[in-house]
Structure 1
Amino acid sequence: MNISKHEQRVLHELALGGEIKYARGGNGKVRSVQCYTRDGFVLSACTMDVFKRLKDKRFIKSTNGRPYRITHLGNQSVRAQMNQR
């Protein structure tokens, strides 16, 4: 499956323990997202467009209103980074 560089970067941070926090609008749809690393830093590569693509491909999932985390499929799809090999 083709995954863009930005999607790869976000998935890698999520695989290391990061999360995507979101805010919903009045109609119940997600209106803004912020990706946090496990150290608490904000990842600027995570935009609404990247978020929607990851969600459509079922690489991320939110359960019971918690922040979005990586799924098993997303974990299998992410490529290893040099510092993790």
Structure 2
Amino acid sequence: MNISRGEQRVLHVLAQGGHIRHHRGDNGRIHHVDCFTRDGHRLADCTLETFGKLHRKRLIESHASGPYRISRKGRESVRAQADNR
């Protein structure tokens, strides 16, 4: 499966215990998302477009209207992240 660099970055944060909070508009559709690391820091790379791609590929999921977290398929798809500092 082809997963872009930005999608990999978001999946990596989610695999380490992060989550994505979603905000719905008046029509009930998601119009804004915020990705948080397990430490509570906000990830700027997570856009609505990236969220949509991850959701369509079923790499993230939400239970009981809670925040989106990585799914089993997402855990299997995430690659190890090299330490490029």
TM-score by length of 1: 0.95
Q: Distance in 2 between matches of 1:46 and 1:18?
A: 12
- What's the CA shift string for 1:24-53, capped at 9, x where partnerless? 011111010000000000001100000000
Matched AA of 1:13: V
Q: By how many angstroms is 1:9 displaced?
A: 0.1
Q: CA deviation at 1:3?
A: 0.3
Aligned to 1:61: 61
Aligned residues: 83
Residue type of the partner of 1:56?
R
Quote the residue 2:50 is aligned against. Answer: 50
Moved over 2 A (4+): none
* Structure 1 residues not aligned, in runs of 5+: none
SS at match of 1:10: helix
Question: For 2:22, what is the secondary structure of its paired residue?
Answer: strand
Letter in 2 for 1:19: H
Distance 1:62 1:32 in 2: 15
Aligned-pair RMSD on alpha carbons? 0.8
Identity %: 53
Counterpart-to-counterpart distance in 2, 1:77 and 1:12: 10
Q: Name the SS of the counterpart of 1:12 in structure 2.
A: helix
Give structure 2 stretches of 5+ with no counterpart.
none
Aligned twin of 1:71:
71
